[in-house]
Amino acid sequence: MSALSLALAALAPSGTGAPAPFTERKLEVAQGRSLFLRCAGEGPVTVLFDSGGSDWSIVWTALQQRIAGRARACAYDRAGLGRSDPAPGPRTPFAIASDLHAMIDGAGFRQPVVLVGHSLGGFHVKLAAALFPQDVAGLVLLDPSEERSWERTRGPLGAKHGVANAARAELADRSFFPALVEKYRGCAERAKAAGGLDPAAPDWRRCADPDRPALGDEANAERRRIHSTPTYQAAQYSEIAWCVYADPSADGVYARLFRPGMLGNKPVAVLTHQEEQSDDPVDRVNAEQGLLLHRETAALSRRGTHRLVTGSGHYIQLDQPEVAARAILAVVEKVGRQPAPPRN
């Protein structure tokens, strides 16, 4: 186990006993290309974590320790992020879900698998559960990104908050995304030209996720090191440029795929963060939209649940890890009482 993993294991919350040791390996998902996997604990169910945009397995370590006493808790790095090899071609949601499927096969997960996803990772695991149902016995989604956001919510948001306020929110959203893609394109180009980015540079914050105090000094130092690399910046840009919000041509597929009840009886838990309510009408529209979308996603399963996590920011797993852990362990318990899905 690496020195970093030893430091990460030490982040086990008080009252959980001795930290579970991490095991690390790289699994080949395509010829000459491997993904990094870090696991802790044992149990009849495997919990596999997928991170949000610009993140990788390092953000899950403390939560893994909370789960490790009841299940095998594994987190992986998507292609080009953390310690995984970069991948050729655009990093579309389908490419990412396909990598996830290949990794589950390569890891030899024979017991039931519960997928946990945050933000963009939430959409990745939802898509993987729909495309590769034999892989997945349950889902936990923390503030998941959603497909066809405005098509699904434009009517009810306009009716409740007024057409003008809903339109302002939609137009601001549609203006924000191209600017975000352009920002990360510039980051990737500068990193490639300079052989990396300098964390002391004035524009560093534009290109890197900020330090997360809950992760500890060593993990944040590792994040800064990874953020500075051209490989990371290229992968970050490709994931954003090709993410669920970027490709309207896939919307018809998503509309057919994600139907109420399509996940059957597989347990699904969706958590939505709720901060102090804003007086800005556009902020209110955006908050309401998240609730509507996440309730619909919970309804993809006949055993889907939705919960508001008050007083938390977007990183529920760091702001309120005990709430995230309870949701995951509840799904683990339900999965443990049902037969594992057949594997092809």
Any idea which of 8-17, 92-101, 256-265, 327-336 has the lowest mean pLDDT?
8-17
d(CA 198, CA 106): 36
CA quadruple 132, 127, 76, 331: dihedral sign: negative
Q: Is the pLDDT score of 8 beyond 60? A: no
Would the pTM count as exceeding 0.85?
A: yes
Residues 6+ apart with CB under 8 A from 28: 34, 106
CA quadruple 132, 91, 86, 64: dihedral sign: negative
Cross-strand partners of 269: 140, 305
First to last CA, the chain: 33
3-state secondary structure of 72: strand
Q: Is the pLDDT score of 144 beyond 90? A: yes
Predicted confidence (pLDDT) per residue in 115-131, tens digit: 999 999 999 999 999 99
How is the chain split among helix, strand and coil, in percent rounded to 5?
50, 15, 35
Predicted confidence (pLDDT) per residue in 18-49, tens digit: 788 999 999 999 999 999 999 999 999 999 99
CA 168 to centroid of chain Cα atoms: 28
Predicted confidence (pLDDT) per residue in 179-207, tens digit: 999 999 999 999 999 999 999 998 888 99
- Per-residue pLDDT, 19: 84
Q: Is the pLDDT score of 80 beyond 80? A: yes
Residues 6+ apart with CB under 8 A from 194: none
3-state secondary structure of 258: coil
CA quadruple 107, 266, 149, 152: dihedral sign: positive
The CA–CA distances, whole Å, from 182 to 121, 196, 214, 219, 341 equal 21, 18, 30, 28, 42
- Per-residue pLDDT, 247: 84
Residues 6+ apart with CB under 8 A from 165: 281, 282, 284, 285
- Per-residue pLDDT, 341: 52
The DSSP output letter for 277 is: P
Contact call for residues 335 and 80 (beta carbons, < 8 A): no
